Amino acid sequence: MMLPILLAAASVSTPPCATGAWTTKASGQTIFKLEIENNSTGTTAIWTRPDHFEFDGDTFSNIDGHVVRRVASEAHVNDGDLILSFEDPEPNSTPDILRVRCAQVGHISVTFMGPDFDPFDFEKTSSNEAQLGPWDAKTAYTREILRKTNVEMTHIFDADQADRQAEHINRSVVGPADEKRRRRTQELLDSGALQSGEDFYHAAFIFQHGSKADDYLKAHLLSMVAAARGNAGAIWISAATLDRYLRAIGRPQVLGTQFTAPKGSPATQEPYDRNLISDAMRKALRVPPLAEQEKYRQDYTMHEAKSRTP
């Protein structure tokens, strides 16, 4: 999908917090520079950007290294936000409209009206700094998005972890608490209150501690969103929830993250298909290789035997 167009001149009094030079980045590279100022004739806005690129909401690709500058054809203020309109040079095209909103100090939020994209975070800079490019047309560039972490979701996760710190977990207490946490986490998900990678990472743990296959599948999907939104720690929970889901539906685990210790028997990972996934792939998924897993299994067996000794 192609992302709409750029910024330039107009004639309306801009909110003071929006004036200045602003940049936004993708994979550490400056993609757009926006310069907004008030003068005697009104507002002038210039958007510097690649001439051509493709954008899917998170990632820029097929970037043409040619840099262009566009000037807004119209500007007005609506509910305190600056609305900028840019004529698309393509034949029979409609103008591209940007909504500029003041955010925290040194940042503005820029929304492309029409496409369902998350707002872009622009950071204040010097007009002479942060030159655009160079870019590689064969490289994908992921944009940086400021997503606030939900405080309530963090508290839910902290309570989940605290209940598991005791040497012996009282399942008659923890089970109902887990169910309550899952219900509330689902409400937060349904309302769109969870946005950051950390939010989805926390939610994945809550559903991993569920009681049925669908809980584990949901936890796996949540961990994928967390990883996609920059939480590297979610890679491991994604692997663990996949194994847990497979076992819940009667299939062997494939990564070896799940251990059980039947009373009076050695700890086991069975059923476990050790051949489907290589140790190299396990490493990429933050999972120990087979040899380390076997050592852990033996240590786990010894620990369980000692804990059950009168």
Question: Rg of the chain's alpha carbons, rounded to an integer?
Answer: 26
The pLDDT tens digits for 7-38 are 344 445 667 888 999 999 998 889 999 999 88
Residues facing residue 100 across a β-bridge: 82, 110
Task: Tell me, yes or no, if the pTM score tops 0.85.
Answer: no
How high is the pLDDT of residue 11? 43
Q: Based on the number of CB atoms within 10 Å of its own CB, is 187 exposed (0-12), middle (13-18) or buried (19 or more)? A: exposed
- Computed from CA positions of residues 28, 30, 32, 37, in that sequence, does the dihedral angle turn out positive or negative? positive
Cβ–Cβ under 8 Å, residues 35 and 62: no
Mean pLDDT of the chain, nearest integer? 88
How high is the pLDDT of residue 18? 87
How high is the pLDDT of residue 3? 46
Please give the structure tokens belonging to residue 236. 């491991």
The pLDDT tens digits for 168-217 are 778 888 999 999 999 999 999 999 999 999 999 999 999 999 999 999 99
Cβ–Cβ under 8 Å, residues 120 and 141: no
